[in-house]
Amino acid sequence: MKLLSVIAALCAAAALTAAETAVLDANATVKNPSKGTTVNLKDGVLTMSGKSGTAKYNYQFTRVAVTPVVTQGKKFSVTIEPADSFKGDTVYIKGLDAKGKEVFSYVAYALPAEKKTYVLDLGKTTSPFRWLDQQIKSTPETPVAYLQFFHGRATQNSDMKVTFSDIKLVD
């Protein structure tokens, strides 16, 4: 009887993980980080850090090459942990095809300075993220080959750090 319970539990766990697809797998590589941005990608965790400049608004960004994956009909789940937060801080998350055209694009303003998981229903605004339909240049069935992450700040000369983890597609 115990053996049947263990088998049933293992089958249930397999069914849950089958409904998820990790996007930052072992093949993911960082491409083209912004000047002055330090990017670390290890074990599916992406960290960007740097210092905001003296301009009115500053961004740190990077592009990550991923194993191409079709996102159509899926939701995009990401855990974001800003080291701190200032009024007007911005996070953009984009999925790009092999030619660099947007398959999906989101922006959020004023994320809380706490670790939180967001599940974005692709093609829809999912608070606090807004769907940027005007930026979409590729069809939903086009495989995403790159993820692009932006972290923006209007506060000058401040340390900037944000971590993106547990990035996956879910049914």
What CATH number does residue 88 fall under? 2.60.120
Question: Does the pLDDT at position 66 exceed 90?
Answer: yes
What proportion of the chain, given as a percentage, has pLDDT over 70?
88
Is 6 inside a domain boundary? no
Is 95 inside a domain boundary? yes
Residue range(s) defining the domain that contains residue 62: 21-170
- Dist CA 111 CA 81 (whole Å): 9
Tens digits of per-residue pLDDT, 70-101? 999 999 999 999 887 777 789 999 999 999 99
Mean pLDDT in the chain?
Answer: 85
Is 14 inside a domain boundary? no
Is 2 inside a domain boundary? no
Mean pLDDT of 92-115: 92
- Dist CA 43 CA 145 (whole Å): 18
Question: Does the pLDDT at position 5 exceed 50?
Answer: no
Number of domains in the chain: 1
Q: Which residue has the higher pLDDT, 114 or 99?
A: 99
Is 12 inside a domain boundary? no
- Dist CA 169 CA 25 (whole Å): 12
Question: Does the pLDDT at position 169 exceed 70?
Answer: yes
Is 158 inside a domain boundary? yes
Is 147 inside a domain boundary? yes
Read off the pTM.
Answer: 0.84
